[in-house]
Structure 1
Amino acid sequence: MNNTALLKPETARDEVYAAPLKDLNPAQPALFQANTMFSIFERLRAEDPVHYTPESDFGAFWSVTKYKDIMAVDTNHEVFSSEGGITIGDQPMEEGPLPMFIAMDPPKHDIQRKTVTPAVSPMNLARLEPLIRERAGKILDGLPIGEEFDWVDKVSMELTAMTLATLFGIPQEDRRKLTYWSDVVTAAPGQGLIDTLDQKFEIFVEYHAYFTELWNQRVNADPQPDLISMLAHGEATRNMEPREYFGNVVLLTVGGNDTTRNTISGSVLALNQNPDQYKKLRENPDLIPSMVSETIRWQTPLAHMRRRALQDIELGGKQIKKGDKVVMWYVSGNRDDEVIENPNDYIIDRPRVRNHLSFGFGIHRCVGNRLAELQLKVIWEEILKRFPTVEVAGEPKRSYSTFVRGYERLPVIIPSRL
């Protein structure tokens, strides 16, 4: 069923259940842009939790769709390798995929990850929180009242870009370059941002040059508490190849930008779609941390991660062969009713609210997960101090991607201030 991109929201479920099971292919960006992929995952979880797709735009792959099976893959890096890439599609780079620590196995992965971890340590987050709060307040105070604007551009992108610029130690006036480069990394040609792969490579040259200059500055200066300085002075990373350094910059840019930004937008949409939960939040702001975790589950900002089998192995009664591509669909595992009660409902005070897959598990668990939660918590604390409500004023424009579950635009109106 490779034309599921044409699914209409109102008939999607019927169409999916009418199709031959073997033809179901969830890896279609248009499905995610239309938000009509959930029926496919629902049926796969029920009837074929470890599902083989022999042909797709991304080649052959296995879909792992149930929570416990995803956990089994994610926590077994000895069998399921990250080497060579973590997205279902291979990076279209002339020299092969960019090396980066999320796409490495131990011991190299562990050493490189450890180098940048201090940037998101509890101590550094405590230092960052007042700055994030001050910036969030200024952003919100500058928003128009009573007229429509794009929440993605004015709030979600702005706060996350400011934080990421601080982590990289770059001037704030360059922060939107980070947003742009991050979007280019995951953009498909012909979908609005770039027209061709050649254009993508040209932008990568500029992106690479900017961060090469930063490296040269930091390596010749005293160590500082920013990510580039940590890489330039780290014992395990200071002699890394230029491509490997750039690969890690790409990882930190996308990881520090896309996930938090899209969950901030997703929180506004989810609360508007569930007014009873929005009312609950306004009446009890102490629920903000719980709402943040529920939004991270509900949004699942990165829909999947992929691995490659290093040996033949059985999973869910299926024989996976050495070399096979295995895709963990976090977006599906987060809706698995065997583990999460009423998983399609958005419930901001649900018990065990942190029991989601969005940050991954095992050695590759998201290194910046606490920073993501902090930014979401702070922005909502500041929103509730200022506005009775933020109202969604039209349909969001979603990202054309099977990897990033995001929003290009979310029109909203703030009717008044408190």
Structure 2
Amino acid sequence: MTSQAAHKDSILADPYSLPLESIDLSDPSLYSQNRWQDYFRRVRDEDPVHYQKNSPFGPFWSITRFEDIVAVDTNHQDFSSEPFIMIGEPDDTIPVANFISMDPPKHDQQRAAVQAVVAPRNLAAMEGLIRERIGTILDNLPLDESFDWVSSVSMELTSQMLATIFDFPYEDRHKLAYWSDIATGAPELSGGTASQEERFAALHDMVNTFGALWEQKSASRKAGNPVGFDLISLMESNEDTRDMMSRPEEFMGNLALLIVGGNDTTRNSISGSVLAMNKFPEEFAKLRANPKLIPSMVSEIIRWQTPLSHMRRIATRDVELGGKLIKKGDKVVMWYISGNRDERVIANPDHVIIDRANARHHLSFGFGIHRCMGNRLGEMQLRVTWEEILKRFDDIKVVEEPERVHSNFVFGYTSMHVKLSPISA
């Protein structure tokens, strides 16, 4: 993908100097430059159900307050996920469909086919593997010298675990992270930087690679071997999804969905957690003094980071919300990144407070039928990562401002240079 540096020169105005109707919350520069907070604060305060008439992604409504987002997210009858859940529209030359972009009953059937991969017994079996892998990663990091935490830790752990849940060739695991970036990185989808040519080539490679893996799983099942609990085996063996290879737009779309879901939330939360402990050193001191706070800290980081900024819906009828009339067919964007900073629901929301009361009450996993399927796996990876960090390091110092993803969908980091200080003997 192209360099983020090309986007650093765009100048963003003070949001309070702009006419309210001209504020475009879909501008990816808000996120790559980390300037989004005041824009959303103004809209939440003055126009929480906000209509943007002109944007590169067409007209859309922004839902910015916590309770309004929950109201939309839990009402799939009036706010449909079809045909897509990102603010932009897919390129007609790369058609995609997946279960997060479907309504019941098809959504329920396809989601149920893969739900078992994150069943409690599978998670329990994976915890030891996660601990072993993050331990090895951390033990091989340089001490007292700068290195990129994103590529060395966050991407490495999540690509290893993605390879496991897909039963994907381990030596090719880095393709999974690359495909995840490409799947969400098109300009027409999120304001990203992936060219059409690069995206077409990458997704073609993804489909061919997974198609061959699917055929292997099918042959193994037909030969009488037990069905595995990896995602491909589960889809190939389920009667509702077994014929998915004959629907290439669904095959591609569901692969991309599962890869992104298994990658972005965890990867950017792991990076965001390190940044948070630097921005709020008093919380890091609290954590070191009491590691039992790690589970609460994990939920707080996932709220504060909000790895996916938004999901969109389409109104199926005229609906009134926040005193505004949303017309049938209108695009409605739920800004989770804004709802997670809504002062009406969350006290002191811009601060990380690792022992916050009711820390799990956040929007990052969504609500309703589309609530994130892999939320427990993502939380477990972040929890185990910090359990192992605290055994080894006294400090993780972010040495320069991180580089952020140029996207209005994935809220994350392309690089974050840190220095580690080991625990003194």
Any idea what SS the aligned residue of 1:352 has?
Answer: coil
The residue aligned with 1:404 is 410
Aligned mates of 2:414, 2:312 — CA distance in 1: 24
Given the alignment of the two structures, is residue 139 of structure 1 paired with residue 137 of structure 2, yes or no?
A: yes
Q: Which TM-score applies when normalising by structure 1?
A: 0.95
The residue aligned with 1:224 is 228
What is the number of residues matched between the two proteins?
408
Any idea what SS the aligned residue of 2:313 has?
Answer: strand
Aligned mates of 2:198, 2:164 — CA distance in 1: 28
Deviation at 1:247, TM superposition (A): 1.0
Deviation at 1:192, TM superposition (A): 13
Any idea what SS the aligned residue of 1:415 has?
Answer: strand
Aligned mates of 1:80, 1:196 — CA distance in 2: 31
CA deviations 1:97-142 (Å, max 9, x no partner) are x110000000000011011011001111001000000001000000
Aligned mates of 1:279, 1:417 — CA distance in 2: 14
CA deviations 1:261-281 (Å, max 9, x no partner) are 000000000000100000000
The residue aligned with 1:186 is 184
The residue aligned with 2:366 is 360
Aligned mates of 2:200, 2:94 — CA distance in 1: 12
The residue aligned with 1:317 is 323
For the Cα contact (< 8 Å) 1:5–1:28, is it kept in 2?
Answer: no
For the Cα contact (< 8 Å) 1:188–1:400, is it kept in 2?
Answer: no
For the Cα contact (< 8 Å) 2:191–2:408, is it kept in 1?
Answer: no
For the structure 1 residues 396 and 95, does the alpha-carbon distance in structure 2 shift closer, same or farther, using more than 3 Å as the test?
closer
Q: Which TM-score applies when normalising by structure 2?
A: 0.93
The residue aligned with 2:50 is 51
For the Cα contact (< 8 Å) 2:184–2:192, is it kept in 1?
Answer: no
The residue aligned with 2:32 is 33
For the structure 1 residues 193 and 316, does the alpha-carbon distance in structure 2 shift closer, same or farther, using more than 3 Å as the test?
closer
For the Cα contact (< 8 Å) 2:193–2:406, is it kept in 1?
Answer: no
The residue aligned with 1:275 is 281
Percent of aligned pairs with the same amino acid: 56
- Partner letter of residue 126 of structure 1? A
For the Cα contact (< 8 Å) 2:298–2:379, is it kept in 1?
Answer: yes
Deviation at 1:84, TM superposition (A): 1.0
Alignment of 1:82-97 (within 5 A): 82-94=81-93, 96=95
The residue aligned with 2:224 is none
Any idea what SS the aligned residue of 2:168 has?
Answer: coil
For the Cα contact (< 8 Å) 1:211–1:246, is it kept in 2?
Answer: no
The residue aligned with 1:333 is 339
Deviation at 1:325, TM superposition (A): 0.2
- Partner letter of residue 230 of structure 2? D
The residue aligned with 1:416 is 422
For the structure 1 residues 95 and 177, does the alpha-carbon distance in structure 2 shift closer, same or farther, using more than 3 Å as the test?
closer
Deviation at 1:235, TM superposition (A): 1.2
For the Cα contact (< 8 Å) 2:192–2:406, is it kept in 1?
Answer: no
The residue aligned with 2:6 is none
Aligned mates of 2:407, 2:150 — CA distance in 1: 17
- Partner letter of residue 25 of structure 2? P
- Partner letter of residue 274 of structure 1? F
**Unaligned 5+ residue runs, structure 1?**
none
CA deviations 1:26-77 (Å, max 9, x no partner) are 1100111001011111011111000000110100000000000000000000
Given the alignment of the two structures, is residue 236 of structure 1 paired with residue 234 of structure 2, yes or no?
A: no
Alignment of 1:354-393 (within 5 A): 354-393=360-399
For the structure 1 residues 54 and 192, does the alpha-carbon distance in structure 2 shift closer, same or farther, using more than 3 Å as the test?
closer
Any idea what SS the aligned residue of 2:173 has?
Answer: helix
Alignment of 1:145-224 (within 5 A): 145-188=143-186, 196-222=195-221, 223-224=227-228
Any idea what SS the aligned residue of 1:326 has?
Answer: strand
**Unaligned 5+ residue runs, structure 2?**
1-8, 222-226
Aligned mates of 2:86, 2:336 — CA distance in 1: 12
Any idea what SS the aligned residue of 2:418 has?
Answer: strand
For the structure 1 residues 376 and 209, does the alpha-carbon distance in structure 2 shift closer, same or farther, using more than 3 Å as the test?
same
Aligned mates of 1:39, 1:189 — CA distance in 2: 24
Aligned mates of 1:114, 1:93 — CA distance in 2: 28
- Partner letter of residue 202 of structure 2? I
For the Cα contact (< 8 Å) 1:5–1:31, is it kept in 2?
Answer: no
Alignment of 1:262-301 (within 5 A): 262-301=268-307
- Partner letter of residue 170 of structure 2? Q
For the structure 1 residues 350 and 95, does the alpha-carbon distance in structure 2 shift closer, same or farther, using more than 3 Å as the test?
closer
